[in-house]
A and B are shown apart, each in its own frame.
Chain A
């Protein structure tokens, strides 16, 4: 089951999006996500979808692979739809027993689904095309100014990259220990909850011990190689903006300009296009 979550995994490929500076991707994703929550009419969504589609196409990540990650959040999606449809008050469309479905509710639900889908896909594009190390590099660089406030930016970034690096190691370790205990007759698939919780002890105790052992080994190894925190530390591959990064920033600014423009204009366009009560007004 864990294998199905593509959110947060890296997909190896050689594309423009992969080569982009992680800072561009971080800023871009954040701006894109905020934009999704700001605008409220269908033109903006259309622009957002087009932009995302272009990025997906450029990234060379198979669409099917990306959508697999959506399965993990399907539940939240259904939940949102149900709540929005049934609990938004407004003009009723359908009514039975204690339930009533309102026009506003359906509209909200549709927008919510689009919003969540775009949100998740944009986040997964970033993690699919950026290695965890590059990502933390980018974060470190972006948050460097916070050092003035005595925030240990480098240390936090280092902790993050170590944590990320250890996820696959610990998963492998867990798998190994699980097999060893299974061979000793342990059952991890018991139906009863208490038994199941109990059966995890032979897995969790060795896992914790090995995590501590690895942590102390790593600390020693880092110290032995002269690591002493961020001060005066240089990078093997320092982050430098290339022309493609500048272009990406320009595209981002253009995108923001377009949706702001559409946001202002939409009021006028809509009143121009749709007289009251027309079916089109449903979407605006």
Chain B
């Protein structure tokens, strides 16, 4: 289910003094099975972009094609892509509302028209997938810890078996262990189930470690579209956008500046270790 954004533009508060262009003529193609990282400074238009490509907001100009179909065409039923394009918003635990965890996760499949058996099966699978134990299934979601709530909310989206999963900062406010778990889960979904993943993150380290391709947004424009290694070569450009390099890359640059001739294109800890060992021996 490839997604194509075609000259996508979105303007807030048109014709008033507060008119701002949140998305400025973005064209991009997202292929099946890719793990994409979307990075950008706060207010660069990331969230708006996500809402546009999942059909939640109508663009001011341009359009989005999902599976070759124009989703903003007049006769297109937007409800048909719900479930196929799953979106996990920032702080998704704020959308929980049912009495029990299990019922909440059932909400999506039920809306898609699955029968009861199918709904419950999907809910069970999704909850297992995010690593929740049976004993929390019939608790109130509001009694859980922050990390558990987050996983319930993600399960609520996964239970619809989306082909494209969009996550807006899924690790915000989690501890390091919680971050690793969530990111590990997302990677598994991409590599094992072939889900297309679009991950918004502020952490360059996370993005560098997991994704295949990075989209860099600044001021509503898509500035860079390349592999992590490519992207992190543009240090000055990134800093101009208010972004930084992964910690490891920064460390490698400092090592080089101190006179040790290492290459500075390492973006994960493992690569850095190998590079340092190569130079030392």
Contacts and interface: CB of A to CB of B under 8 A. Distances in A.
A40 interface: no
A5 interface: no
A177 interface: yes
A206 B112 contact: no
Interface in A166-195: 173, 176-177, 179-187
Contacts of A173: 94
A202 B87 contact: no
Nearest to B156: A184
A187 to B, nearest CB: 7
Nearest to B85: A183
A183 B56 contact: yes
Interface in A200-229: 201-202, 205-206, 209-210
Nearest to A183: B87
Contacts of B111: 184-187
A12 interface: yes
A185 B96 CA distance: 14
Contacts of B222: none
Interface in B124-140: none
A184 B157 contact: yes
Interface of A: 12, 173, 176-177, 179-187, 201-202, 205-206, 209-210
Given A179-B56, A180-B95, A206-B97, A185 B108 contact: yes
14 contacts: A173-B94, A176-B89, A176-B94, A179-B51, A182-B56, A183-B54, A183-B87, A184-B107, A184-B108, A184-B156, A185-B107, A185-B160, A205-B97, A206-B95
B89 A180 contact: yes
Contacts of A176: 89, 94
A76 to B, nearest CB: 27
A177 B107 CA distance: 14
Given A179-B89, A206-B97, A184 B56 contact: no
Interface of B: 17, 51, 54, 56-57, 79, 82-83, 85-87, 89, 92, 94-97, 107-108, 111-112, 142, 156-157, 160
Q: Looking at A176, A180, A205, which has the most chain B CB atoms within 10 Å of its CB? A: A180
A29 to B, nearest CB: 25
Contacts of B107: 184-186, 202
Contacts of B157: 183-184
A209 B82 contact: no
A179 B78 CA distance: 13
A201 to B, nearest CB: 7
A182 B82 contact: yes
Nearest to B96: A206
Contacts of A206: 94-97
> Chain A's interface: helix, strand, loop or mixed, by majority?
helix
A202 B104 CA distance: 10
A184 B81 CA distance: 10
A262 B107 CA distance: 68
A67 to B, nearest CB: 15
A210 B92 CA distance: 12
B86 A183 contact: yes
Contacts of B89: 176, 179-180, 183
Contacts of B86: 183
Contacts of A181: 95
Closest 6 CB pairs of A and B: A185-B111, A205-B97, A180-B95, A185-B82, A184-B108, A183-B87
A216 to B, nearest CB: 14
A202 B108 contact: no
Nearest to A179: B56
Contact of A210 (B83, B94, B160): B94
Contacts of A185: 79, 82-83, 107-108, 111-112, 160
B79 A209 contact: no
Contacts of B83: 185
Contacts of A184: 82, 95, 107-108, 111, 156-157, 160
A12 B17 contact: yes
B23 to A, nearest CB: 16
Contacts of A177: 94-95
A187 B79 contact: yes
A179 to B, nearest CB: 5
Nearest to B104: A202
Contacts of B95: 177, 180-181, 184, 202, 206
Nearest to A13: B17
Contacts of B142: 209
A176 B88 CA distance: 11
A198 to B, nearest CB: 12
A179 B112 CA distance: 16
Contacts of B156: 184
A184 B92 CA distance: 12
A179 B276 CA distance: 48
A210 B89 CA distance: 15
A105 B54 CA distance: 56
Nearest to A12: B17
Contacts of A205: 97
Contacts of A202: 95, 97, 107
A155 B94 CA distance: 30
